[in-house]
Amino acid sequence: MTMSNPPATRPSPEVFDALRRGKKALHDAHRALSVSEKVKMVIELQAIALPLMARRRPLRYYERQWPVG
């Protein structure tokens, strides 16, 4: 018995247009942020990513959470 994957279907042009509009809106929103808000966002993303990386392998000396405060 062999398992086959169904053929991939290409999303419609409307879906692509909606994705492009959403991506542009996200980029515009990020562009409007101040530098301190952007740094805060990076620190929040580090708090998510670093523990996941640490579970897979030891973190390198430069892969540490930025000190806040």
Residue 64 and residue 50 in contact, taking contact as beta carbons nearer than 8 Å: yes
Cβ–Cβ < 8 Å for 66, 41 = no
Reported as half-sphere exposure (CB side, CA atoms, 13 A), residue 60 has a value of 2
Residue 13: C-alpha distances to residues 16, 18, 54 (Å): 5, 9, 40
Mean pLDDT along residues 1-27: 86
Provide the pLDDT for residue 14: 94
Residue 62 per-residue DSSP state? T
Q: What is the pLDDT of residue 23?
A: 97
Q: How confident is the model at residue 62 (pLDDT cuts 50, 70, 90)?
A: confident
List the chain domain ranges.
Answer: 36-69
1 versus 66: the higher-pLDDT residue is 66
pTM exceeds 0.95, yes or no: no
* Average pLDDT score over residue span 57-69: 82
